């Protein structure tokens, strides 16, 4: 049965929008946006015209940033093909471009549209100037120190809306209840340090900005397949959204992961299966995600686009290390990458677990957690932020972190940075415990993070990472080319191709006399001055002239070059 028709005035020229069927002058108008205009015949007679553009599409407010200086847009509200009411904060800058960019998003979200009226739909939106004003932000996370914005909601004091070109929600989502999440997921935190790391990482992204740190951090869970590490990443993702959807795969383009990170500002970037990453760019991607700076790109006009920036924590898992992945493309891992993405062994008592909490096996525990992460999700993160604001703890965070950091004892400047990152996770766990969100005892989260840090530091070896990489590179070079690119200093010795230096035998074994070019070839990813400083610091250069790191050697051909006299046994000093 057709709904009862409603009488309403229709403008002579312009647009009208209505949610129910109406009649006007005996003509029926279906629900939606209508364009009204008139034409004249050659005889001068005026005829009213009415064209349907799309389903009901309301422009409820003008959006702009908190300083009313940029970020203007329109807050759209519409009902999709399944009767679900949706909204989209549309950036006004899209109104100046091709209509397809706007209409394709509306099509994708289920608005009923006359395909031939795309340009008029955009004209309708641009013509609307409602009195209502709403603060918008183009990034998720903190807006000031009392308001936290996600694509789904605003948490804290005040109100704002997330505004994006694509209307993507970044897979933020909610289902089930916080209590359900606590009973089915966080209940197994006690006694499981790796799981605490995952949940701590997901919560700790919200602490980065209040702590006034200028870059994020990353943790990579490393072990064999099917041991539970993916489950940990998935459960960490459930803090903000559906476990399997909020978590993404490493198998993505660099620009795609950059866009994802921008949507996860002050939050978590969970990536599974490092082995699927592109080895040629994965090192750059780690730098970008953790440092929070996207690439400089150009507009079609050639003008520079605004660089995307964010603060986030990267949580990764895989069966190989970043170093192994980068070597597939012939690239060495840099120390900066190693401390940005810290490799944490995921080999515990039962796979990734130490306490099975009455499950028969680690696999059974993992299966139950993965299922739960798709039933109860998206509550813990906002609840944590809400309590952080309500308790007024944002201003106390730097002092609280200083107290926790005293529990960590790094042995180098690089380890100190990693210790700080573990301490930030510990702080998140302690706060969430205090707020009643996690079933840990006071200090347990900190103890677990200290344990994991000490394990990482012990397995890393002493000394800076660059030193270890340099010494390893020279040792590997000697292993590969010691018999083919080094010529004996003995009279009558056979010449070698692509000579990197010479060798001579001593009582303790062979000594390698590198030429300058040979040493640069062996350590091509480092400056020579840096290489020499490392070699000298461990006593690997065993013969040198006063004030120099070279010593001359009279060769059978009569030449007397300065060479670097390196004892390969000393290369094992570090690592």
**pLDDT, tens only, 421-445:** 999 999 999 999 999 999 999 999 9
pLDDT over 70 at 339, yes or no: yes
Question: Which position has the higher pLDDT, 40 or 197?
Answer: 197
Among 466, 450, 461, 462, residue whose Cα is nearest residue 418: 450
pLDDT over 50 at 115, yes or no: yes
Q: Report pLDDT for 327.
A: 82
Question: Which position has the higher pLDDT, 459 or 546?
Answer: 546
Angle ∠(273,274,276) on CA atoms, nearest 5: 75
Question: Which position has the higher pLDDT, 534 or 221?
Answer: 221
Least confident stretch, 121-130, 397-406, 518-527: 518-527
Q: Report pLDDT for 67.
A: 87
Each residue of 448-506: pLDDT tens digit? 999 999 999 887 755 567 788 889 899 999 999 999 999 999 988 899 999 999 999 98
Residue 152 contacts residue 172 (beta carbons within 8 Å): yes
What token pair was written down for 464? 């800076």
Tally Cβ neighbours within 10 Å of residue 155. 20
Distance between alpha carbon 368 and the CA centroid of its chain, in Å? 26
pLDDT over 90 at 23, yes or no: no
User: Which residues have CB under 8 Å from 30's CB, separation 6+?
Assistant: 21, 52
- Give per-residue burial for 358-382: e unless 16+ CB within 10 Å, then b: ebeebbebbebbbebbebbbbbbbb
Q: Report pLDDT for 467.
A: 82
Helix (H, G, I), strand (E, B) or coil at 221: strand
Q: What kind of architecture, by CATH, is found in domain 178-377?
A: 3-Layer(aba) Sandwich (3.40)
pTM for the model stands at 0.80
Instruction: Work out the percent of the chain whose per-residue pLDDT is above 90.
Output: 74
What token pair was written down for 116? 């031939």
Instruction: Work out the percent of the chain whose per-residue pLDDT is above 70.
Output: 95
The ranges assigned to domains in the chain are 6-54, 57-162, 178-377, 465-573
pLDDT over 80 at 346, yes or no: yes
Q: Report pLDDT for 333.
A: 77
Q: Report pLDDT for 305.
A: 67
Q: Report pLDDT for 158.
A: 83
Average pLDDT, rounded, for the chain: 91
Question: Which position has the higher pLDDT, 127 or 459?
Answer: 127
Q: Report pLDDT for 304.
A: 59
Q: Report pLDDT for 301.
A: 54
Q: Report pLDDT for 207.
A: 98
Residue 3 confidence class, pLDDT cut points 50, 70, 90: very low
Q: How far apart are CA 503 and CA 513, in angstroms?
A: 6
Each residue of 141-164: pLDDT tens digit? 999 999 999 999 999 988 899 998
């Amino acid at each position: 049965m057709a709904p009862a028709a409603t009488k309403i005035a229709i403008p002579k020229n312009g647009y009208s929008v209505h949610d129910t069927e109406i009649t006007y002058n005996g003509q029926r108008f279906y629900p939606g946006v209508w364009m009204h205009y008139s034409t004249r015949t050659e005889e001068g007679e005026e005829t009213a015209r009415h064209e349907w553009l799309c389903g009901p599409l309301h422009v409820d407010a003008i959006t702009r940033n908190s300083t009313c200086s940029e970020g203007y847009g329109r807050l759209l509200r519409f009902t999709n093909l399944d009767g679900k009411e949706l909204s989209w904060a549309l950036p006004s800058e899209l109104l100046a471009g091709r209509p397809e960019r706007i209409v394709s998003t509306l099509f994708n979200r289920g608005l009923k549209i006359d395909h031939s009226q795309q340009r008029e739909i955009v004209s309708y939106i641009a013509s609307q100037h409602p009195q209502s004003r709403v603060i918008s932000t183009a990034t998720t996370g903190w807006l000031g120190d009392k308001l936290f914005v996600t694509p789904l909601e605003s948490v804290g004091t005040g109100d704002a809306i997330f505004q994006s070109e694509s209307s993507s929600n970044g897979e933020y989502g909610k289902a089930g209840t916080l209590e359900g999440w606590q009973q089915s997921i966080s209940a197994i935190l006690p006694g499981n340090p790796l799981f605490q790391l995952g949940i701590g990482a997901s919560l700790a992204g919200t602490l980065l900005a209040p702590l006034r740190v200028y870059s994020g951090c990353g943790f990579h869970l490393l072990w064999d397949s099917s041991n539970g590490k993916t489950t940990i990443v998935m459960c960490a993702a459930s803090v903000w959204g559906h476990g399997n959807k909020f978590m993404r795969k490493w198998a993505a383009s660099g620009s795609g992961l950059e866009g994802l990170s921008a949507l996860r500002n002050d939050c978590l970037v969970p990536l599974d299966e490092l082995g699927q990453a592109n080895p040629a760019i994965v090192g750059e991607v780690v730098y970008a995600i953790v440092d929070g700076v996207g690439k400089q790109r150009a507009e079609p006009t050639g003008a520079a686009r605004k660089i995307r920036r964010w603060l986030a924590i990267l949580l990764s898992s895989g069966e190989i290390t970043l170093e192994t992945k980068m070597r597939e493309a012939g690239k060495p891992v840099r120390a900066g990458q190693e401390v940005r993405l810290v490799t944490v062994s995921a080999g515990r008592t039962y796979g990734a677990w130490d306490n099975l909490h009455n499950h028969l096996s680690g696999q059974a525990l993992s299966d139950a957690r993965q299922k739960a992460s798709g039933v109860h999700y998206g509550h813990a993160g906002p609840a944590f932020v809400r309590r952080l604001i309500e308790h007024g703890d944002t201003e106390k965070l730097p002092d609280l972190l200083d107290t926790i950091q005293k529990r960590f004892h790094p042995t180098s400047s690089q380890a100190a940075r990693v210790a700080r990152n573990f301490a930030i996770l510990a702080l998140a766990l302690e706060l969430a415990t205090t707020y009643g969100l996690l079933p840990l005892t006071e200090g347990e989260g900190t103890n677990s993070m200290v344990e994991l840090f000490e394990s990482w530091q012990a397995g890393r070896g002493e000394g800076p990472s660059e030193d270890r990489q340099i010494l390893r590179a020279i040792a590997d070079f000697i292993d590969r080319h010691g018999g083919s690119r080094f010529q004996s200093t003995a009279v009558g010795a056979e010449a070698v191709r692509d000579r990197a230096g010479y060798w001579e035998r001593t009582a303790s074994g062979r000594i390698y006399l590198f030429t300058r070019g040979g040493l640069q070839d062996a350590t091509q990813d480092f400056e020579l001055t840096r290489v020499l400083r490392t070699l000298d610091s461990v006593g690997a250069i065993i013969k040198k002239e006063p004030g120099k790191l070279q010593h001359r050697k009279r060769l059978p051909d009569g030449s007397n070059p300065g060479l670097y006299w390196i004892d390969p046994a000393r290369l094992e000093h570090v690592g």
